[in-house]
Chains A and B, each alone.
Chain A
Amino acid sequence: GQNIDQPTEMTATEGAIVQINCTYQTSGFNGLFWYQQHAGEAPTFLSYNVLDGLEEKGRFSSFLSRSKGYSYLLLKELQMKDSASYLCAVREGMDSNYQLIWGAGTKLIIKP
């Protein structure tokens, strides 16, 4: 079956580094996405990985291992505004409808 697992909640300190893990079991794989969602707001796109390795974008990096069904989102130099939920999503198929399977999200709490 389809399953995406993320920790429910994490706490980190302002200025520190945090790693949010995502493991997936899906019938196919055609890319993994990370989205950020502040409370009461819509998700916004952070990153996309389709090949193994690390993708870096400013303070945020995302890593993918397809053989392990594993990804992580790395946030550096944490700021209070990074307090949000982080959603992991997998696109299964090669077809054109671009459906995503979503994890339940990890709520990240940043403390001063």
Chain B
Amino acid sequence: NAGVTQTPKFRVLKTGQSMTLLCAQDMNHEYMYWYRQDPGMGLRLIHYSVGEGTTAKGEVPDGYNVSRLKKQNFLLGLESAAPSQTSVYFCASIEGGPPYNEQFFGPGTRLTVL
């Protein structure tokens, strides 16, 4: 049982390049989230999904797109990377409705945009 995994772990991009971050969970969780974490700031929600085939915008969605074609995978895409997107990206999942509360996090992807 691997939990939540993320690939890649590190990436350096040039401004304007595109990439996709993959999040996978093997816990059969319904809800999945993409966050970014920047120094001195709390985790900020980019996009989330409440089930296969559904996605919704979070607090900071601009410049990102997501897809959830399979229940276990949640992809985050950057179409044209900008230096402001330099951050650590975390994926998280939660089993579903009450009484489930704990979000399980992946190990993170450290992205630098030059």
Contact = CB atoms under 8 A, between A and B. Distances in A.
Given A33-B101, A45-B102, A100-B103, A4 B45 contact: no
B42 A102 contact: yes
A100 B40 CA distance: 17
Interface stretch (B14-22, B76-84, B104-112): B104-112
A100 B33 CA distance: 10
Contacts of B41: 104
A42 B50 contact: no
Contacts of A105: 42
B42 A42 contact: no
Main secondary structure of the interface of B (DSSP, over half): loop
Contacts of B104: 45
A89 B102 CA distance: 12
A48 B101 contact: yes
Interface string A76-112: 0000000000010100000011111111110000000
Contacts of A96: 50, 97
Contacts of A8: 40
Interface of A: 4, 8, 31, 33, 41-45, 48, 87, 89, 96-105
